[in-house]
Structure 1
Amino acid sequence: MMEEAAGWLAALDAGSVTPQAFEQWRAADPRHAVAFAQVAHAFEQVERLRTFGDRHADLAPAPAINRRRMLQAGVLAGGASVAGALLAVRATAREHAETTVGERRGLVLDDGIRIELNTGTRISWRTDKERSRIWLERGEIGLTVPAAPRGKLELEAGGARFRLGFGSFNARQQPESFDLLVLDGAAESVRGGRLGAGAMARVIGQDVAVRPADTVTLDRARSWKDGQLVFEGESLDFVVAEFNRYLDPRIVIADPALSRIRLGGRFTTTDPNDLLAALHASFGIRSQRSANGAITLTAG
């Protein structure tokens, strides 16, 4: 039971199982919840010892997190077999970052890779001497890979996996697909197919389609980092869907006939007022805000 609980802890931290699957396992037997709590407590004690050593390295030798100490932590949890699983947790641990709706965030990994997170995005990553791995769990990111990264870089989203060389890239996870755009540099799908600068790969299920990206797509991938949305003749329902990624409450099209109107322009992501003014001036579309802040579009 303890080994099984430790395995779930390792899998959760590595991101290889879903929280829903874990909750099903824990609810199946009261002993599962008890065992997991004990294992988690043991890992917390080990982590606390490691953190103490990091913070006070200049004052005294850091406590040795060796096999004996790990075994002691395992005994606290109810069995020495937990120690090996705790070591596995440390080896497979990921770090995480995310943004809320309307938020953007930038970070730099230990190997110099720069990541920009767009609205409503969550990523996890793991780096070591041999390679770095980034998982895009939802949303959109921009990646800048230095000319001499410390190791190989792999990007995963859903079932898609790419190896990235130096350059800059844009990756977006959508409900039905995953898009990887090479702004400059090169990338390669593990399923086959190379991408040079200006190419885009769209992954739907097991299929990977590579094609040249159009000018608007390239401009759009660069512009969101400056807080802008770019459109060139897209339908209003598409424009509203893109805006709604950044807004809470959202914009609602009350009249379905308005969805077919086509619109172009450059707008600020977090402020729809310019969009609303353009719709009213060009098409007579009226906008009304409800008490909760939602915006409804109706024909004039």
Structure 2
Amino acid sequence: MDRRNTDENAKLGSYDEAEHWFVHLLESGCSADERAEFERWRAADPAHAAAYREIELLWRQSKEAVKNPAIVAAASRALRREPETRARRYWFLPAMAAGLAILVAVIVLPRWLGTSADPAGMTYTTTPGQQQTVALNDGSTIMLDTDTEVVVRYSARTRRVDLLHGQAQFTVQGNHAWPFVVHAQHGTVTAVGTQFQVRINDGCTDVALLKGKLAIATESPHGTPQNASLIGGQGLAYDETGRISPLHSIDLQMAGGWTQGKLFIHDWRLPDLLAEMNRYSATKLQIGDPSLQDIRISGIFRTNNQQVFLQLLQQGWPIHAKRLSATQIVLLRNR
């Protein structure tokens, strides 16, 4: 066998493996270990990655082609005819890309449509005080803040992430043909090549766009669906009725502070600051003197060091801390 035939067979082998992986990754029972094995296969050889990209392209083309009954019937007849040789199949590949797209649709689409609209997905969680960055298969990342849970459900149609509670920052690899959609309470946030944050807080969902563009849509049985769009440096909120607040400018340093383990605050009420700090610790802080309710605080505080935080409060304001138990500290006014 000459070198050209050897190269052709290697490419055919990569293409066949890519077909196998593409179908398997669409199945709801695909495990995390299997997805990790796929990533190792794709990274092992540039030919693997190229073959998989081609399968993805054919899949997108097939979703349109499969709508035509005549084309599907022709593809079905073609499937019943065995190719003469694997080499011939390869040499006809560039000229028959559309035909192969139809074959992919006939073989793969029924399996995909036979699964639920929302695959089982992969769940990621953090505990109080913990943060985690998740690298996704498409090059996007999710940074989970303290006490946060997300479910990632990738399919050929969409990249879906459900934020169940907490706060997360999403850095999205752009792909107009494969939208990245975050579902949070009664709304969705759709991104293409952006970096943004979504936070669920007492029935309200806050969205902050650090760069790029976003589309927000809400839907609630208790209200009227609404839509809005954001550009970098803007934010909004929507509630459980689906009502969207007016757009506002965001402080980029303050918005990004938690990703560095810091709170950048200006003129916050003490109860609000304590509520935010309590998210990062199992030991909860509470106000024991009503006269402290209206104290205003500005500064930069580490979220992962409650002891230093208490020292700063006691040095800068008329406050002293008293521990009541292993998980409870009360703040009192100095007399």
Q: Report the TM-score, using the length of structure 2 for normalisation.
A: 0.61
Within 5 Å, which residues of 2 pair with 1:166-245?
A: 166-190=193-217, 191-204=226-239, 205-215=241-251, 218-245=252-279
Deviations 1:58-93 (CA, angstroms, capped at 9, x unpaired):
9xxxxxxxxxxxxxxxxxxxxxxxxx9xx6369622
Residue 323 of structure 2 aligns to which amino acid in structure 1? Answer: R
For the pair shown, the structure with the greater C-alpha radius of gyration is 2
Which stretches of structure 1, 4 residues or more, deviate above 6 A after TM superposition? none
| % same residue | 23
C-alpha RMSD of the superposition: 3.0
Residue 194 of structure 1 aligns to which amino acid in structure 2? Answer: S
Does the 8 Å contact 1:113/1:149 carry over to 2? no
Does the 8 Å contact 1:111/1:150 carry over to 2? no
Deviation at 1:253, TM superposition (A): 0.8
Q: 1:97 aligns with which of 109, 124, 132?
A: 124
Deviation at 1:152, TM superposition (A): 0.7
The reply to whether residue 154 of structure 1 matches residue 189 of structure 2 is no
Within 5 Å, which residues of 2 pair with 1:74-85?
A: none
Q: How many equivalent residue pairs?
A: 226
The reply to whether residue 141 of structure 1 matches residue 175 of structure 2 is no
Structure 2 CA distance for partners of 1:48 and 1:143, relative to 1, 3 Å: closer
Between the aligned partners of 2:115 and 2:164, the Cα distance in structure 1 is 22
Q: 2:155 aligns with which of 123, 128, 147?
A: 128
Q: Equivalent residue for 2:294?
A: 260
Secondary structure at the counterpart of residue 244 of structure 2:
strand
Deviation at 1:156, TM superposition (A): 0.8
Within 5 Å, which residues of 2 pair with 1:50-69?
A: none
Secondary structure at the counterpart of residue 115 of structure 2:
helix
Unaligned runs of 5+ in 2: 1-27, 42-110, 218-225
Deviations 1:229-267 (CA, angstroms, capped at 9, x unpaired):
111110000000000000112011111220210011111
Residue 278 of structure 2 aligns to which amino acid in structure 1? Answer: N
Within 5 Å, which residues of 2 pair with 1:9-48?
A: none
Unaligned runs of 5+ in 1: 1-45, 59-83
Between the aligned partners of 1:150 and 1:166, the Cα distance in structure 2 is 12
Structure 2 CA distance for partners of 1:111 and 1:260, relative to 1, 3 Å: same
Q: Report the TM-score, using the length of structure 1 for normalisation.
A: 0.68
Does the 8 Å contact 1:111/1:149 carry over to 2? no
Deviation at 1:172, TM superposition (A): 0.2
Between the aligned partners of 1:186 and 1:109, the Cα distance in structure 2 is 20
Structure 2 CA distance for partners of 1:47 and 1:223, relative to 1, 3 Å: closer
